[in-house]
Copies of this chain bind each other. A is one copy, B any other.
């Protein structure tokens, strides 16, 4: 195998106007076949995708990541519910003239992945869901309290608190991840605005408290679920519940890891994600 290409650091932010809004996005990789589109976590922007995972996927397919409305460099007001976020994402993707794609949904992005596959199954080929949960899960009832605890920490400690376990090994992997996320020094995205934070907070909490509207048994696409052993935010057990409700899902748990399981095991993730998407 030839040396992997660093697509990710070279991909400049581009803009596309959809319904009067300028969406920020990056597009990179070996463009052949079905692209994979990344849906980001709570407060996450283009710069919260791990270069190892992005480049690993990009060796074998085209990768598109974007800021949804009101997030990072994309203008507008972030909606406070997953259904509207999903409609905004679909509008952007259709404006890119992409009719069929794979999804990589991380956390909140995994909610959108479920919603999108449920309301527009025609668009979706395969789905990867990392650190997420089905609708109606109890743990999200106290999501605001968890975030309040996190917000009292300094940024690096907050990142470790949310995405990694307290063990020395996991924290070291977290610090290494932070370095990768900050390796890009130019053409960076804006941090999420206060409005975006509050709207997403509401949307995520509602995912746990609102009535269930998605019938997961109707999502017939192949799904790869990745979760850490100790995700306090989503409650790791919920990935097993999600797995059981989806008719065609593979589920993998990683050891001594939390919400950021694929940050902690990026090479392992790339191996299984590429195998899943290619076969």
Count of this chain's copies in the oligomeric assembly: 2
Residues 244 to 279 of chain A near chain B (Cβ within 8 Å): 244, 246-256, 267-268, 271-272, 275, 279
Structural contact, B229 and A244, CB atoms closer than 8 A: yes
Contact of A252 among B244, B250, B267 (CB under 8 A): B250
Q: Report the minimum CB–CB distance from A17 to chain B (whole Å).
A: 40
Cβ–Cβ < 8 Å partners of A229 in chain B = 243-244
The interface size of chain A toward B, counting residues with CB under 8 Å, comes to 21
Contact of A275 among B244, B268, B279 (CB under 8 A): B268
Structural contact, A252 and B252, CB atoms closer than 8 A: yes
**Any B CB within 8 A of the CB of A161:** no
Closest chain B residue to A278, Cβ basis: B271
Structural contact, A253 and B251, CB atoms closer than 8 A: yes
Cβ–Cβ < 8 Å partners of A240 in chain B = 240, 253
Q: Report the minimum CB–CB distance from A101 to chain B (whole Å).
A: 21
Cβ–Cβ < 8 Å partners of A267 in chain B = 279
Q: Report the minimum CB–CB distance from A216 to chain B (whole Å).
A: 13
Structural contact, B255 and A249, CB atoms closer than 8 A: yes
Structural contact, B248 and A256, CB atoms closer than 8 A: yes
Structural contact, B243 and A247, CB atoms closer than 8 A: no
Q: In the complex, A247 Cα to B275 Cα: how many Å?
A: 26
Q: In the complex, A252 Cα to B255 Cα: how many Å?
A: 12
Q: Report the minimum CB–CB distance from A20 to chain B (whole Å).
A: 42
Answer whether A250 and B247 are a contact pair too, CB < 8 Å, given A240-B240, A268-B279.
Answer: no
Identify the interface centre among A244, A253, A272: most chain B CB within 10 Å of its CB. A253
Q: In the complex, A275 Cα to B274 Cα: how many Å?
A: 12
Q: Report the minimum CB–CB distance from A1 to chain B (whole Å).
A: 8
Cβ–Cβ < 8 Å partners of A253 in chain B = 240, 243, 250-252
Q: Mark A208-252, 1 if CB is under 8 A from B, else 0.
A: 000000000000000000000100000000001001101111111
28 chain-A/chain-B pairs, Cβ below 8 angstroms: A229-B243, A229-B244, A240-B240, A243-B253, A246-B255, A247-B255, A247-B256, A248-B255, A248-B256, A249-B255, A250-B252, A250-B253, A250-B254, A250-B255, A250-B268, A251-B251, A251-B252, A251-B253, A252-B252, A252-B253, A267-B279, A268-B275, A268-B279, A271-B271, A271-B272, A271-B275, A272-B272, A272-B275
Identify 7 new A-B residue pairs, CB closer than 8 A, beyond the known A229-B243, A272-B272.
A229-B244, A246-B255, A248-B255, A250-B253, A251-B252, A268-B279, A271-B275
